[in-house]
Structure 1
């Protein structure tokens, strides 16, 4: 069973990732997470073109005892021509995104996020997906985040990415405190295990595991065949289905094993979960409470 205190609610699902989520459902999702004891939240301007930060800020107003991380690297601009479903988000405000990893853009991004959320500061600020902008992010974004940290505008700085090689470069070259790695430390994809986790351990960097269902395939591989936000390869689907069959032998849902897997590693400081409804939060909490026998973990390892 995963320690529920290590859970972080991610902000993409209730901001319309893959399908529109109305404001009432978004608030119900946040309320269900809070009632379950979740006090850590991860958001970003990218999520719902700002609606994730707005919805989270409204929910947290008047509350205390929580932590919030947001990200920099994308600035938002009002845009009446913005297409529905842009970058996978639906039912969002009419805003367009522009990549900006400059020092000025970084400070502007934080100021905009504070205004949207109504918070007075963020606990953690992460460089978001700088894959094609690494030189500028290392030269400008990270130093600016470090200045914000020194000014007391945040407690920790770090990086939020999908690629292990990108994370490793920032771990080795930047004064960061946190790595949020999405989809690379899961039952199906353990790329982070070989170099990234040991490197973070040596440097005392906290690691958060996100995307632990690999875009849905680990929830139900017979029904959902998306992996990394696209159609999964046949070999990936077959491995996920094999894992589901092994779990069925032990009467353990595959998603229970998938959600609990990251938290078994001593270097994982938190697991970021996604949800677009109160029912999804409840299901996730239930899955995290399922007892998973050690023999099942051993069999799942052999499915790789």
Structure 2
């Protein structure tokens, strides 16, 4: 068993440290297609061997399958050696209208269904059920999961419940995870959240988080975990092409062209588009982690190799000068980060 770990970063104002690269366990919950159980376990094992010590899951992912598989794969590891996050807001309840297969993108039986619940009781029940599915004794980080349409209950009931658990030492850190950035800024400014999980809004193609959540995090000294950094695939290959996905839809031609232009600049600086896509958010002073979905050991190997590539700080300046990223991308991005920049 290796003791090597990737670089650690602390969630501000908490004792919790995350490796710079995290293992996103949604795909081992059979997202879009079946992942054999042995492949899921092998992917977690490969992540461990690569030095990843932060693992993210949720009840939503495969109607509990991701949590069960992740917990089983980590069970023989020393508990103090890794961090696990899960999420609340979707309870899993018996499904009386079964059609055979889940309708929300996971290839699993639909014996259960998701029920929105950001009440205090719902939060406590969700955490208890996650601990049962994973077999873990505790969760290190808990996020409110996609509370877009539930601000009031999430902010007034769920977050105070999580804060109480954190203050009792039951949870290490608390936050919210969403595909939008504006409400995440509200969670940082108006609630007891320590961090947020930002999906797809601070990438090489979309820096809209510079308008709200990232300034809030810097001002308040709070932290951000970045996910969706490939924008559903458009930034995942060295040379983007028509037919690739952007934010779960077919990518518009203008975005494909811009991604290709960014890729060409990356090549001129001796790197690749996906390597730069991972390094870019980590160069922001408030972003402490990039978490990527990893279905197989080969994907783990590729992602950890991409993360390890050194990026010349001049790349970001060149992209700004060419108008390919926003001019207000922080100057700290230049040359900041180990191992990401030169």
The TM-score normalised by the length of structure 1 is: 0.94
Q: Tell me the equivalent position of 2:14.
A: none
Q: Tell me the equivalent position of 2:193.
A: 176
Matched, 1:262 2:281: yes
Contact 2:226 2:281 in 1 (8 A): yes
Give the alignment of 1:238-253 within 5 angstroms: 238-253=257-272
Distance 1:205 1:46, change over 3 A: same
From 147, 155, 161, the counterpart of 1:130:
147
From 289, 300, 304, the counterpart of 2:319:
300
Q: Tell me the equivalent position of 1:55.
A: 69
- Deviation string for 1:251-272 (max 9, x for gaps)? 4221111111111112111111
Distance 1:261 1:13, change over 3 A: same
1 CA distance for matches of 2:216 and 2:139?
A: 26
1 CA distance for matches of 2:151 and 2:269?
A: 45
2 CA distance for matches of 1:16 and 1:154?
A: 27
2 CA distance for matches of 1:185 and 1:45?
A: 25
Q: Tell me the equivalent position of 1:201.
A: 218
Shift of 1:53: 0.8
Secondary structure, counterpart of 2:104 in structure 1 = helix
Q: Decide which structure has greater helix share.
A: 1
Q: How many residue pairs are counted as aligned between the two chains?
A: 303
1 CA distance for matches of 2:112 and 2:247?
A: 25
Shift of 1:98: 1.2
Secondary structure, counterpart of 1:106 in structure 2 = helix
Distance 1:241 1:119, change over 3 A: same
Q: Tell me the equivalent position of 2:330.
A: none
- Deviation string for 1:26-75 (max 9, x for gaps)? 01110110000111111111111111111111011131211111100001
Deviates more, 1:157-166 or 1:221-230: 221-230
The TM-score normalised by the length of structure 2 is: 0.84
Shift of 1:170: 1.0
Matched, 1:140 2:154: no
2 CA distance for matches of 1:67 and 1:223?
A: 38
2 CA distance for matches of 1:262 and 1:101?
A: 29
Gapped regions of structure 1 (runs ≥ 5): none
Q: Tell me the equivalent position of 2:231.
A: 214
Greater relative contact order (CA < 8 Å, ≥ 6 in sequence) = 1
From 238, 249, 255, the counterpart of 1:236:
255
Shift of 1:288: 1.6
Secondary structure, counterpart of 2:128 in structure 1 = helix
Contact 2:143 2:177 in 1 (8 A): yes
